[in-house]
Amino acid sequence: MPRFEPVLSKNFRTEGIRSLDVYRKNGGYRAAEKALKTMSPEQVIETVTAANLRGRGGAGFPAGMKWSFLPKDRKITNLCVNADESEPGTFNNRVLMENDPHQMLEGALIAGYATRTTTAYIYMRVEFHEQFHILQKALDEAYAAGYFGNNILGTGFSMNCYVHRGAGAYVCGEETGLIESLEGKRGWPRIKPPFPAVEGVFRRPTVVNNVETLACCVHIIERGADWFKSIGTPGSAGPKLYTISGPVKRPGWYEAPLGLSCRDLIFGDDFAQGMLDGKGVKGCIPGGLSVGVLTEKELDCKLDFDEVRKFGLLGLGTAGAIVIPADADIRQVLMNCARFYAHESCGQCTQCREGTGWMYKIAARIALGAGRIEDLDLLSELSQNMGMMPGLSICGLPDGAVYPIRTIVQKFRGEFEERIRAQEPGRAAEVLQRLNRSAYSLPIFGQSRLAGAV
């Protein structure tokens, strides 16, 4: 692919970029000054809408449209920055916050001005220890320089900003689960409607955007909507931070236009450069665990918001790729996926609480060598009866839970059947006895040798 000039990561290797002085010397807060001093809030929203900025948190919902849902007669608006980043295989928000924290803060300031926000909350997962201190120091500098607080830059606009640390629950990545946790309650999603734009944090109109989405706002305001749309593919505009993990030569983060193929991400000279020890690729989970899996033959899929759906995936997700090597036991891959969602379900919706548990129990039995061919059909049936898409849950966690299970079973069914037929004849009774003793305990399996599989 042609050479690409980094946008979001352009300052990552600039010495001292975490400090406000260095950030400003490299053009920092210039876009915020432009927005606050020369544009109305409505013009900022129009510009972001025209750029077709779609949320980078997983759902891909247009950011400008989300902002426009706020009630026109509101008195107070809150902004929640979703820095929870709990999707397995994903760390693009983490590298943004630790390498260029002021970029995200500037994006939050622009979004806050556009939505007439009075208070912004940055909700950060508790495991981000170093990133918390980096971000808090940057926020203190921004306050001291007049970018947050009262009468920002002498424009009459006022907005406060606070960093709030969550407790590490996956479900709090969902925006209403995040809001509940931010309010000091149990972190589980709210029934919608009302949606956060009408009744969000502290029952006031609220916008929720993720870190990378807000970072993109800086460059849209600075360079314009047409420039932003010139990057990427039709319908999926702009740059994207991709992350990749697994047995590749260069795991890590990479920036490219939306539409980079999964094969280029794994094998490209500017990206992961292929597999360690000459291993083959069995498949790749391209957007964080919840989107589903691509087989080796499907790696030419373009990672944008639209093409991924042609391959049976839930969506682009976070573009956090997890590579599955050819020598991986697909039964263990399935069990680890199922175990994660059974553990992270908040338990509020019956079909998610029970369904994720049953999928894990079945996957564990298969992984331990006591599977049945009909288990594959049962997993497929279970995966069709959970989630928001069939209208059976409050949030999208069960949708994310079933897509990896469904796609792994469908796309690797031949391998599953081969493994099941090769099982030891007397193995089933022993495994079932063991499972009954443990009551399918998640902690017991979490400590087993199978837990280290992909």
pLDDT tens per residue, range 162-210: 999 999 899 999 999 999 999 999 999 999 999 999 999 999 999 999 9
User: Which position has the token pair 């369904």?
Assistant: 355
Q: How far apart are CA 63 and CA 60, in angstroms?
A: 9
The correct CATH number of 233-325 out of 3.90.1580.10, 3.40.50.720, 3.30.450.90, 3.10.20.600 is: 3.10.20.600
The CATH number that domain 20-229 falls under is: 3.40.50.11540
The CATH number that domain 330-452 falls under is: 1.20.1440.230
pLDDT above 60 for 439:
no
The pLDDT tens digits of the residues spanning 329-387 come to 999 999 999 999 999 999 999 999 999 999 999 999 999 988 999 999 999 999 988 88
Q: How far apart are CA 205 and CA 23, in angstroms?
A: 32
Q: Report domain extents, the chain.
A: 20-229, 233-325, 330-452
The pLDDT tens digits of the residues spanning 12-24 come to 999 999 999 999 9
- Grade residue 249 by pLDDT with cuts at 50, 70 and 90: very high
